[in-house]
Amino acid sequence: MKLKDITNIIEKWSPLDQAESFDNVGLLVGSANSKVEKALITIDTTEDVIDEAIKQKCDLIITFHPIIFSELKQVTENTYVERIVKKAIKNNINIYAIHTNLDNNPKGVNYKISKRLSLKNTSILLKKDDKNIGMGMIGELTKELNEIEFFEFLKNKMNIKHIKHSPFLGKKIKKIAVLGGSGSFAIEEAINKKADCYVTSDLKYHDYFKAEKKILLADIGHYESEHFTKQLILDFFIEKIPKFACIISKTNTNPVNHF
């Protein structure tokens, strides 16, 4: 297939104009007219991912986080971004990013999280321009849990070992707001919509004060909140382009480690 035939299908699912203005989505490296035979799906494009693509004979990488985010003024070997782009070009590997346009998709990143947590009666947390798209989701657990029970449930369903959180409130947990990736900007909206717990990532020290004893904030880690997105993208390809070879990267691209 030609790459443009594949990206046209992707962009009907998650249009590029639904991405945030700061983002850099779409075809980042390669040619829309190039013939592609196999795709590798990843959260991040690292040098190890490029090596994996070469080994697996993949000529397309579908990445969630864009490898080129800010202006790229040269392609040398001075930075990891330049090395990755150079290596991709050298090995005829196209790189396509689908990021905040998938965050804003009502069946995108946060829909996948809500499904992992079996939330019901779900709706978009922060709607965008009065449309049925936007960041985050809010819904209800199938049964009420205490805070410890919910955190054990959360760790199990999201396959995580650590949760940073605001002080426990001694309240039952039923209504859950979720937002994959950096989500401090939606704390107030989660409170306004009377969520008992807000599951997100990248909360800073002062963000935890915003809970104001009204909500339990749970920071599960950036990569950890989004890593099931790979399966989400694969499921889309299986449904829409079943004859196109597509695999999930086995490379762990999470740059954050815990000792």
Per-residue confidence (pLDDT) for residue 46, from 0 to 100: 98
pLDDT of residue 70 exceeding 90, the answer is no
Choice among 125-129, 136-140, 142-146 with the minimum mean pLDDT: 125-129
Strands of the 173-182 sheet, one edge to the other:
120-127, 134-145, 173-182, 197-201, 216-219, 164-165
pLDDT of amino acid 219? 98
**Dihedrals phi, psi of 202, to nearest 5 degrees:** 60, 30
Please report, in angstroms and rounded to a whole number, the separation of the first and last CA atoms in the chain.
45
Q: Which domains can be identified in the chain, with CATH numbers?
A: 3-100 (3.40.1390.30), 104-224 (3.40.1390.30)
Retrieve residue 46's tokens: 């690292």
pLDDT at position 112, please? 97
Could you please report the per-residue DSSP string of 148-191? Answer: HHHHHHHHHHHT-S--EEPPP-S--EEEEEEEEEE-GGGHHHHH
Position 174, amino acid: K
Question: Does position 71 have pLDDT exceeding 90, yes or no?
Answer: no
Per-residue confidence (pLDDT) for residue 129, from 0 to 100: 82
pLDDT band (50, 70, 90) for residue 17: very high
Cα radius of gyration rounded to whole Å, the chain: 19
Give the residue-averaged pLDDT of 50-71. Answer: 96
Q: Is the pTM for the entire model greater than 0.75?
A: yes
What is the overall mean pLDDT for the chain?
A: 97
pLDDT tens column, 249-258: 999 999 999 8
Question: What would the mean pLDDT of 31-35 be, rounded to a whole number?
Answer: 97
Bridge-based pairing state of the strands 120-127 and 134-145 = antiparallel
Question: Of 101, 94, 100, which Cα lies nearest the Cα of 6?
Answer: 94
Q: Which helix (H) or strand (E) holds 47?
A: helix 47-55
